Amino acid sequence: MLVRTRYQYGSLRLRRRERGPDVWEFRYYETDSTGQRKRQSVILGDRNLYTTETLARKATQALLLRLNGECPRAEVEAASFGALLDRYIEQELSERYSTRKSHLSNIRVHIRPRWGEYPVDKLKPMAMEQWLRDLPLAPKSKTHVRGIMHLVFKCAERWGIIELDKNPVSLVRVKNASKRLKRPRILEVSQFFELLKHLSEPYRTEPVPQIRTGGKWEFCSSAA
């Protein structure tokens, strides 16, 4: 017999401590590998970090998304985009240092301040497109920001938070995404050798004369 999965909200309480500020404790049930439901709890933070119950409850959204992964979508409350970002960071963020650093920076500086409090179903393509247009970034950087949001929504599709093929960022365009803001500067040979004088190792290499082999000219270089 198929058991209907119900949406789990968990319970939140302010737990008093003898020393230091009171802390917010979130209690919930989690099913273990044997199928048994066990009571779990986690400390979200102290009263200084979350000054109201509303703020503490918002901090539980990413965890609730994971706990209710098998719950019918109709019963799931619309999560905030910030909760999706938290779950993406926790479970999906690349382990590659440069990618991780870039994504975390864009999320912290640009995406979360603007869209973190919005319910997922309230993010509309034209609003996001206008926001990207107004960002004081190069078109390529705007494309990176758009790419992160698109990826987060793709994860939301897989998690069952939104319907498949309903990613709103798919309709968002970035104008002049392939254009440069500045023309590249091309150095003359004499300018290159002048620049070379100011470079230190391991960035400086000393060109050696061209060597003709097999009827072709080859340019060789060796460490200075």
pLDDT tens digits, one per residue of 160-212: 788 888 899 999 999 877 655 566 678 788 888 888 888 877 666 655 445 45
Instruction: Look up the CATH number of domain 78-184.
Output: 1.10.150.130
Angle at Cα 114 formed by Cα 109 and Cα 115, nearest 5°?
A: 115
The Cα–Cα gap between 107 and 101 comes to: 10
On average, the pLDDT of the chain sits at 79
Predicted pLDDT of residue 219: 47
Q: How far apart are CA 108 and CA 86, in angstroms?
A: 11
Position 182 scores a pLDDT of 62
The position carrying tokens 């960035």 is 203
Q: Give the type of residue at 218.
A: E
pLDDT in tens, 25-72: 888 777 777 777 788 888 888 888 888 888 887 778 777 777 766 564
By the 8 A CB rule, do 157 and 166 touch? yes
- How confident is the model at residue 71, as a pLDDT? 60
Secondary structure (DSSP) of 99-118: HHHHHHHHIIIIIHHHHTTS
Longest dimension (CA), the chain: 86
Token reading at 108:
């912290």
Give the pLDDT confidence of 146-162 residue by residue, as tens digits: 999 999 999 988 887 88
Split at pLDDT 50, 70, 90, the class of 224 is very low
Say what the pLDDT of residue 211 is: 47
DSSP-derived secondary structure for 153-167: HHHHHHHTSS-TT--
Average pLDDT over residues 208-222: 49
What pLDDT, on a 0 to 100 scale, did the predictor assign at position 51? 87
Let me know: does 89 contact 81? Beta carbons within 8 Å: no
Where are the domains positioned within the chain? 1-61, 78-184, 189-223
